[in-house]
Each structure stands twice: as structure tokens, then as C-alpha cells.
Homo-oligomer: A and B are copies of this chain.
Amino acid sequence: MEIIFLGTSSAVPSRERNHAAIVIREFGEVFLFDCGEGTQRQFIEANVSPMKVDKIFISHFHGDHILGLGGLIQSMGLRQRETPLDIYGPKGMKRVIDAITHTGYFKIEFDLNVHEVDEGIVVETEKYRIETTKTKHSVPNNSYSITEKKKPRFLREKAIELGVPPGPLFGKLHKGEEVEVEGKIIKPEQVLGEPRKGLKVTYSGDTRPSMKLIELAQDSDILIHEATFEEADRENAFEHGHSTAKDAADIAKAANVGKLILTHISPRYRQFDILEREAREVFENSEVAEDFKVFNINSKNKN
């Protein structure tokens, strides 16, 4: 799984940091989390094709998280995209897309499927599951987690022992289906190993420290959490519905995650060492994201 940061600033961009946008590539798909102004150009700079995006997840409707949608979608249209695009966001997402598609001339030849999410599972395939929960910003904000559904190991020797001939029946059992062999029912649990934990990444969007986020992020390999402010600006964080780096670290620790990546950094900080330091005092494996930084996690290294 590849995580590519396209924008890591907060409300206003800086020379170094663009508005919020994070790409995740895995399961043969490209997922985009938030889409601030200028995201289509950040794709170009990162050598990732914006055409390939399959699903977009929006945390909330502040400009710095949505104002790149119009340009990205129109450029997909100009490049003759035909595949439908799925966009997920809080209640009101349809109205936002409606405003975007009515800003000047707007013509695309592919379908936009807009999904207004509440809480729980929003996408589920054989390979992965995306869940969301409402967290605590100045306006409604959804956090998202993406979890690999990793099959238990198939115990080949055991299946043969039970009389199952190698071939298509192995596949059925591994998928979780019962099979019949010479009048005898073989159940999947007889030939499957222990459940295996798949990769999991959670993204906070903009939020104050949230109990529900701890729940959503539980045991994630990576938690991407906003850290708009440092401790000295804690008042500011509270007032504007944001977290400090230490807040994010508290959440990471409580959720027992593998690694914490801090993003949505206020442009007031030219040096962000202090954010990293403050987070590490609470949760050692913390790192501040930068535009175009790439993180790879591999499910083979797990379990």
C-alpha cells in the first residue's frame, strides 16, 4: 500500500505546502482523500495520473479540502475519461457537487456518483472495507479508515487429509464456501488457519481529539492525523476545532496504531521540528508529512 501526500497545509497554502490531499494506491485502485485547490497539479508533480482516481473521500466542506474537485473532474473530462467516478462525503456532498458543476461552463462525459455518508461501512469489496465515523470539527467532519480484508492461510495438507482433491474446491473453501466431497460436507473453518489482520490506514480529516476516532483507528498500521498547531497555540486549536501535535499523539497511543503521520500543518510554522518533537514525547513513531512524501507499507511484513 502506497500513501502519497499531495498537500499538507491547513486553510491557507504556503510555498512548501499545498492544501489537503492524500492518495492511497492499493487493491488495483487509486483513492483520494480530500481535494484542496491545486490538487490536479500536485498529481502532475508527483508523477501520478489524476485520471486513474477511482474514489474520492471528502472529510468536510471547508474550501481547503474541496476546492480542487472542480478542476480535477473537468480535467478528467477534457482527457476523455469514461469510467464513472465515485465521490463520498458528509451529508451535503450532493449540494457541493451541484455548486461545483454549476460554476461556469462544465461538461463531462462520465458519471459522477455522489454518496452522502453517515457512519459505518461505506465501501466493501472482497479485498477491502472503508469505514467512516463523525468526528469533532467546527463543521461536520468524517474520518475514514481503509482496511484490507486478508484471507486466513489455506491449510493445503489438512484439506488433502480430509479427502479434498487439489483443484477448484480448494478455491471455494479459501473463499469461505462449504464443499461436498464424496457425500461428506467440508467446512472452510476445517481447512483455514487463524484470522489474519490486513493493512489498515485511518485519516482524521479536521478534528479535535475524538473518542470515536480512537475507535475507528484502533490497531491501524498508520494513522494520518491533523496537527494544525503546536502546544503553545493550544487555545487556537481549541477555538477552531483543530488538534495539536500532542493531541494527535494521544489519539495514536490510545488507538494502538503502528505509526502516526501528522498533516494539515499551519503555514505559521516554518520549522515543524517542534510538532514532531511534541508528538514523539507521547508517541515515539511520529512523523510530520511533507508534500510529495511517500510511505509504503507492505502486508507481507505483517503477522
Tell me the A residues contacting B by CB distance below 8 Å.
11-15, 18-19, 37-38, 40-41, 44-45, 61-68, 70-71, 74-75, 78-79, 95-96, 99-100, 102-106, 139
User: Inside 8 A of A38's CB, which chain B residues have their CB?
Assistant: 37-38, 41
A252 to chain B, nearest CB (A): 28
Listed by A's residue number, 25 A-B pairs whose Cβ atoms lie within 8 Å are A11-B75, A12-B75, A12-B79, A13-B40, A15-B41, A15-B44, A37-B37, A37-B38, A37-B40, A37-B70, A37-B71, A38-B41, A61-B105, A62-B105, A63-B74, A63-B104, A63-B105, A64-B71, A66-B103, A67-B70, A99-B99, A99-B104, A100-B103, A103-B103, A105-B139
How many copies of the polypeptide does the oligomer hold?
Answer: 2
Interface of A is mostly: loop
B45, B79, B96, B106: which contacts A103 (Cβ < 8 A)?
Answer: B96
What is the CB-to-nearest-CB distance from A45 to chain B, in angstroms, rounded to a whole number?
Answer: 6
In the bound complex, residues from chain B placing their C-beta under 8 Å from that of A103 are: 63, 66-67, 70, 96, 99-100, 103
Contact B102 A99 (CB under 8 A): yes
Shortest distance between the CB of A201 and any CB in chain B (Å): 25
Q: Which 3 pairs between the two chains have the least Cβ-Cβ distance?
A: A61-B104, A38-B38, A37-B71
Q: Which residue of B lies closest to A14 (CB)?
A: B44
Q: Do A45 and B96 touch across chains, with their CB atoms under 8 A apart? A: no
Closest to A71 in B: B37
10 more CB-based (< 8 A) A-B contacts, given A37-B41, A63-B104, A70-B103: A12-B40, A12-B79, A13-B40, A15-B41, A37-B37, A37-B67, A38-B41, A66-B103, A96-B103, A100-B103
Q: Which of B41, B67, B139 contacts A18 (CB under 8 A)?
A: B41
